[in-house]
Amino acid sequence: MNASLPVQDVNVLETTPLVAPAVLKQALPLSDEQARFVVDAREQVKQILTGQDDRVIAIVGPCSIHNPDIAIEYARKLAEVSRAVSKRLLVVMRVYFEKPRTTTGWKGLINDPGLNDTFDMAGGLKIAREILLEVTRSGLPAATEMLEPITPQYISDLITIGSIGARTTESQTHRQMASGLSMPVGFKNSTEGSFEIAINAMKAASAPHRFLGIDHEGKTCLVHTRGNDMAHMILRGGRTGPNYDADSVAQAAKMLKDAGLPQRFVVDCSHANSNKDYTRQPEVWNNVIAQRAAGNDAIVGLMLESNLNEGKQSLGDDPAALKYGVSITDGCISFDQTAELLMNAFEQLGG
pLDDT tens profile 89-109: 999 999 999 988 776 789 999
Residue 80 sits at the vertex; the CA angle it makes with 32 and 35, to the nearest 5 degrees, is 10
Q: Topology of domain 24-348, per CATH? A: TIM Barrel (3.20.20)
pLDDT of residue 2: 62
- pTM exceeds 0.75: yes
Going 81 to 110 to 315 to 101, the CA torsion angle's sign is negative
Contacts of 219 (CB under 8 A, 6+ apart): none
pLDDT of residue 302: 98
Domain range list for the chain: 24-348
d(CA 111, CA 89): 33
206-237, pLDDT tens digit by residue?
999 999 999 999 999 999 999 999 999 999 99
261-310, pLDDT tens digit by residue?
999 999 999 999 999 999 999 999 999 999 999 999 999 999 999 999 99
Q: Could you give the C-alpha distances from 4 to 8, 11, 13, 286, 288, in angstroms and in order?
A: 12, 17, 19, 66, 64
Amino acid at 34: Q
pLDDT of residue 101: 75
d(CA 92, CA 102): 27
Task: Report the chain's mean pLDDT, rounded to a whole number.
Answer: 96
pLDDT of residue 212: 96
Decide if 293 contacts 349 (C-beta within 8 A). Answer: yes
Decide if 60 contacts 78 (C-beta within 8 A). Answer: yes
